[in-house]
Structure 1
């Protein structure tokens, strides 16, 4: 019984120590850990201004039922049109990739021009 009480006290003390520690902040801008929180964070914030003021482009998308219904749920949960959900998630993914290049200009340029047929 004494050993059981000692273990309980040790467990209680460990829990108190954990509760006192500050929780690490999760990355909400993309690129690091905390991906689930980052996706939620990008859906609740408006996109940064489009400095290039590019024109709207039409995109026809076919997706599986799973992704379609996921998009429906995200749009309903965050009170956004499906277009806004897609735009924010695509911006977040692209921003995360660009940030991952750091100071590697060659990698950034390859990424930038790969989709342009250049």
Structure 2
């Protein structure tokens, strides 16, 4: 229970920090996916790594291959950056709607039960 409360507080702090980052960018417009691939990903707050096995269609597989080679990244780095970018864009879309943000963040815990 204490761990859940600690994580909720960490999420609340991260949520409060998000609008500041958006305003600092200037116009509040998210970068294109291609720009995300050349920017460093923010440091992970959780050092644990999770394993994910994915089967891709041929088009998606070769797209991932091209992106990785073009940007000089590993396929893992490309996927991580694109996932971070997509997640960040959704979180930013909530603006000040804390209820929507909480539903989004808590949906994973509901699916784990």
State the TM-score, normalized to the length of structure 2.
Answer: 0.69
Kindly indicate whether structure 1 or structure 2 has the higher relative contact order, using CA contacts under 8 Å at least 6 residues apart. 2
Q: Per residue, is there more helix in 1 or in 2?
A: 2
Could you tell me which residue of structure 1 aligns to residue 23 of structure 2? none
- State the aligned residue count: 85
5+ residue gaps, structure 1, are 1-24, 31-37
State the TM-score, normalized to the length of structure 1.
Answer: 0.67
Flag the structure with larger Rg.
1
Q: Which runs of 4+ in 1 moved over 6 A?
A: none
Partners of 2:90 and 2:79 in 1: how far apart?
A: 17
Please list the CA deviations of residues 20-61 of structure 1 after superposition, one character each: whole Å capped at 9, or x if unmatched.
Answer: xxxxx893x35xxxxxxx1111000110112x2331111000
5+ residue gaps, structure 2, are 1-26
Q: What do you get for the CA RMSD once the two structures are aligned?
A: 1.8
